[in-house]
Amino acid sequence: MSGKPKLYYFDGRGKMESIRWLLAAAGVEFEEEFLETREQYEKLLQGGSLLFQQVPMVEIDGMRMVQTRAILSYIAAKYNLYGKDLKERALIDMYVGGTDDLMGFILMFPFLSAADKEKQCAFIVQKATSRYFPVYEKVLKDHGQDFLVGNSFSWADVHLLEAILMVEEKKSDVLSGFPQLQAFKARISSIPTIKKFLEPGSQRKPVPDDKYVETVRRVLRMYYDLKAN
């Protein structure tokens, strides 16, 4: 294992998408192996590559890393996106954790029934506008800086932009009442590495479709219906 990081996951967003975002933000090129069959997944299991019998899995720096948060923390620290001291790291962890909670409401959205999707969409927008976006709006307004932590580009900024764009896919004008976040979105989106990742043809994945859902269900043997919150 050497050279570019190699990502093992499905050809879609899921839990791997935030890892793609962070590597792209750091300007790191990476390779991907997409799981399309149960046999591929079982081969990884039998080979001992999946420590807790689950993906995402990333080969990086001679390691086979699992657990999304551990992978993200490693990448953030390796590429100087994790603050300059312990206090800044704690703030980044706190903001990333909050953003994770919001993104968690979206993660399983593609697997819901049509009726549950309508309900969940309203729930996501309500939570974003009443619980999560007001926090970041206040943080940016209070310290008057361009970034969430230490006036330096960090993992927290990358994660928040990803979440904003995901919620905007549910309601395009969701930031209408958040001027600080509107400006933040424009600033972070214009960072060269981020701008490149947002362009067509990048390794950023589109909104999950029926093919992605069916592949995940088949490979992981998910034969049950998920319910909305």
Q: Which amino acid is at 109?
A: F
pLDDT, tens digit, 9 for 90 and up, residues 142-188: 999 999 999 999 999 999 999 999 999 999 999 999 999 999 999 99
pLDDT attached to residue 219? 95
Q: What pLDDT score does 226 carry? A: 46
Beta strands 31-34 and 63-66, pairing class: unpaired
The C-alpha atoms of residue 170 and residue 159 are separated, in whole angstroms, by 17
**What is the per-residue pLDDT for 136?**
98
Residue 7: phi and psi, rounded to 5, are -105, 130
The whole-model pTM stands at 0.94
| pLDDT of the residue at 222 | 79
All structural domains of the chain, each given as residue ranges with its CATH number in brackets, are 6-79+199-220 (3.40.30.10), 86-190 (1.20.1050.10)
Lookup: tokens for 73: 């923390």
Q: How far apart are CA 203 and CA 119, in angstroms?
A: 30
Name the band, by pLDDT with cuts 50, 70 and 90, for residue 1. Answer: very low
Contact 136, 148 (CB under 8 A): yes
Give 78-106 pLDDT, tens digit per residue.
999 999 999 999 999 999 999 999 999 99
* 27-82 pLDDT, tens digit each: 999 999 999 999 999 999 999 999 999 999 999 999 999 999 999 999 999 999 99
Question: Could you give phi then psi for residue 31, rounded to 5 degrees?
Answer: -105, 160
Residue 228 has pLDDT above 90, yes or no: no
| Confidence band, pLDDT 50/70/90 cuts, at residue 3 | confident
pLDDT at site 225:
47
Nearest to 90 by CA among 22, 21, 28, 154: 154
Query: For residue 129, what is the DSSP state?
Result: I
Helix (H) or strand (E) holding 193: helix 192-198
CB 127 within 8 A of CB 103: no
Q: What share of the chain is helix, strand, coil (3-state, %, to 5)?
A: 55, 10, 35
